[in-house]
Amino acid sequence: MSTTIYNLNTQSESTRSRALLFVSPLAAMIYPLPLIGFHACVTVAANAVGSPTWLAWFAASILLLLAFMLPLASILSAMRLSAIQTPTKAELLARRIAFLSVASPPLFTLVGVIFYMLGMSDLDKWVLAVFWGALAIVIAYCDDHTQLTPPPKLAEANLRISHGIVATGILLIFLGFHLANHFFGLIGPEAHTSVMKALRHIYRAPFIEPVLLAGFLFLIISGFYLAWQLTNKATDRFRTFQVAAGVFLLFFIISHINASLVFARVYLGIDPGWGFATGAPTGLIHDAWNIRLLPYYWLGVFLVLSHLASGARAVMLAHGKQKKLADGVMIGGAAVSALASTLILLGMCGLRLHFV
């Protein structure tokens, strides 16, 4: 692996700030609030009779934007903490918590589904607030004086290569089709469902589905190990983004498989499809619970595709390609991912294309 990936703009001691250590747990702690506010505003807009609703919709848009900004704040804080070459124990802990807090959207969905199944739906936000608050307290009491020497060894090359090969295999046998399927929502639920039924002959085949799930399990375990190793050392912004996307996906995959296999198929006894994914009949926008699925799905599609683009950048650098070209592939890949994600979510929120 080329060392250029790890050659960094390191953070000077003078730019270190103690407040930075608490940005991400606090961002994760308040993450549900803008979504609660969004629901309150759209309810006001929906129930307003004869009075203008633009103010409520404007406030709702700002709050939704804020819900996206909070995980972004965690990524930015992970980037700054990852630039420190010789972190203190508190800085290393805060760096790892910053990566974890990027996953606040899938954690909110995962904990929400688990508490729903336990019949304690209202407790999810409180449990998460206590969890993030406790992490902030642990950082506050952690040693912020002793500087750690970075370990000389990077994550095993063989494991990184196996992780990349399995991810590419899953992209080819499942993920590419699964995401392409969601574009059909722009035509309508029927089109989405008929494509899904055709594709299920492949990925739900008795000999493919267990292999697929085992592949995802391997990605989760190896991804966790790689993230742990890579966050030990200072890294550049590109690599930090790649690891942050990976940590998000780790919890997204656990949450998503729990929702579609355990919650839908076992707990509710239904076959999850378009209606389940879009929170029918209320939909994603107008339901107090379902609104959490909007940033969750958008970031899920965006980060899975951008994570693959980041992997392509790392492979290009390792094979001696120009840094400018490799960076361009990643940035271009992220832009395409954002567009794909937006189109899928517009379809899920009701936008329809009509062909004449």
Position among 136, 301, 309, 316 found at the interface with ligand HEM (CB under 6 A) = 301
Q: Tell me the longest C-alpha to C-alpha distance in the chain.
A: 68
Contact 232, 243 (CB under 8 A): no
If one asks whether residue 311 binds ligand HEM (CB under 6 A), the answer comes out as: no
**Cis peptide preceding 34, ω within 30 of 0:** no
Choices 201-209, 228-236, 314-322, 323-331; region in contact with ligand HEM by CB under 6 A = 201-209
If one asks whether residue 183 binds ligand HEM (CB under 6 A), the answer comes out as: no
Q: What span, in angstroms and rounded, lies between the C-alpha atoms of 92 and 78? A: 10
Q: What span, in angstroms and rounded, lies between the C-alpha atoms of 305 and 311? A: 10
How far apart are CB 69 and ligand HEM at their closest, in Å? Answer: 20
How far apart are CB 195 and ligand HEM at their closest, in Å? Answer: 10
- 70 versus 250: smaller Cβ distance to ligand HEM: 250
Choices 73-81, 136-144, 187-195, 254-262; region in contact with ligand HEM by CB under 6 A = 254-262
- 133 versus 273: smaller Cβ distance to ligand HEM: 273
Choices 15-23, 84-92, 232-240, 295-303; region in contact with ligand HEM by CB under 6 A = 295-303
How far apart are CB 329 and ligand HEM at their closest, in Å? Answer: 20
How far apart are CB 77 and ligand HEM at their closest, in Å? Answer: 24
If one asks whether residue 182 binds ligand HEM (CB under 6 A), the answer comes out as: yes
Q: How many residues comprise the chain?
A: 356
| Of the candidates 272, 260, 285, the residue with the CA atom closest to the CA atom of residue 350 | 285
| Main-chain dihedrals φ then ψ at residue 277, nearest 5 degrees | -65, -35
Site for ligand HEM in 330-349 (CB under 6 A): 344
* Residue 119 CA to its chain's centroid (Å): 26
Contact 135, 270 (CB under 8 A): no
If one asks whether residue 216 binds ligand HEM (CB under 6 A), the answer comes out as: yes
Contact 16, 84 (CB under 8 A): yes
How far apart are CB 169 and ligand HEM at their closest, in Å? Answer: 13
Q: For residue 155, give the DSSP letter.
A: S
Residue 292 contacts by C-beta under 8 Å, 6 or more apart in sequence?
A: 32, 35, 105, 108, 109, 112
- 192 versus 233: smaller Cβ distance to ligand HEM: 192
* 310: amino acid identity, one letter: S
| Helices 104-117, 124-141: inter-axial angle, 10-degree rounding | 130
Position among 8, 30, 111, 257 found at the interface with ligand HEM (CB under 6 A) = 257
Mark 56-85 with x for binding to ligand HEM (rule: CB under 6 A) and - for no binding: ------------------------------
Radius of gyration of the chain from Cα atoms? 21
Positions touching ligand HEM (CB under 6 A) are 175, 178, 182, 196, 200, 203-204, 209, 212, 216, 249, 252-253, 256-257, 260, 272-273, 276-277, 297, 300-301, 304, 344
